[in-house]
Amino acid sequence: MSVSEQTYAKVIAIDGPSGSGKSTIAKDLARELGVLYIDTGAMFRALAFVASEQKIELVEGETLSNFLNSLNIEYGISDRVLIKINGIDLTEKIREHQVSKLASIISQLPSVRKFLLDFQRLLAKNKVCVMEGRDIGTVVFPDSFCKFFITASADIRASRRLKQLQDSGDDSFSIDQIIKDVKKRDDTDTNRAFAPLKKADDAMLLDTSEMTMQDIIKILSNEVKFRASHLGFKL
Ligand code: DC
């Protein structure tokens, strides 16, 4: 199929492991381009938080299915309120360290992935947006016109995470503990059976270990603009 015959989703897909800097990059890129920003990790986190509150066992079955059917998710309500479930603002709560672990576990369940896949596709329908996650370029929008895979070394990612926790007033973790958690989460995310963390063949790979945010945004935004103009997309 030639480029002119292929149709593309107007989604800028940004995937990569936790702590790679992809959230900051995705947010800044969306702002720079003036398009919607969609953080799919926040959705897995919010689901994990509510499931934990309701003591839902994280296994496939009727209880999980009833739980999913009972959820009303609202995303991107305002600058301050990113996500609500059943009317409750979870924007802050989902950033707690414990929620990261639960999100990694819940994201292995096929019914949860399917539920959020439908939600993510609906949210981005007919919109230009930056969507960030693990499987956006491979599963959610394999037809997206521009894909990036952002990574950084495990040590750098762990020290960024530690700083984030310290900045939020949590001094209870050591760097060794965080490195261990980062590697464990990488392992779970990469080796799960459904929609694992994986670079799409046609994604541009960027290692941010030694790069400044300014340089990264410049590279990405130039690439997006180039591809959009090549395909005749209006951003
Ligand atoms: O990006 P994050 O750290 O907020 O994501 C939280 C968890 O959700 C992470 O362990 C992987 C999972 N996730 C996923 O499986 N697929 C996505 N598209 C986004 C996140």
Cα of 169 vs centre of ligand 1, distance in Å, is 23
Closest residue to atom 11 of ligand 1, CA basis? 104
Closest residue to atom 16 of ligand 1, CA basis? 134
Cα angle for residues 196, 156, 105 (degrees, 5° grid): 30
Ligand 1 shell residues, CB under 6 Å: 18, 40-41, 44-45, 100, 103-104, 107, 133-135, 185, 189
Tally Cβ neighbours within 10 Å of residue 154: 16
Q: Residue 144, exposed/middle/buried by CB under 10 A (0-12, 13-18, 19+)?
A: buried
Q: How far apart are CA 173 and CA 203, in angstroms?
A: 34
Q: How far apart are CA 84 and CA 46, in angstroms?
A: 8
Quote the tokens at residue 138. 């491979």
Cα of 185 vs centre of ligand 1, distance in Å, is 10
Quote the tokens at residue 97. 């360290």
Cα angle for residues 162, 168, 170 (degrees, 5° grid): 65
Q: How far apart are CA 72 and CA 75, in angstroms?
A: 10
Which domains does the chain show, CATH number per domain? 9-229 (3.40.50.300)
Closest residue to atom 3 of ligand 1, CA basis? 18
Q: What is the pLDDT along the chain (235 residues), one digit of tens a residue?
A: 555 557 899 999 999 998 888 999 999 999 999 999 999 999 999 999 999 999 999 999 999 999 999 999 999 999 899 999 999 999 999 988 889 889 989 999 999 999 999 999 999 998 899 999 999 999 999 999 999 999 999 999 999 889 988 988 888 999 999 999 899 888 888 888 888 888 999 999 999 999 999 999 999 999 999 999 999 888 8
Q: Residue 51 in 3-state DSSP?
A: helix
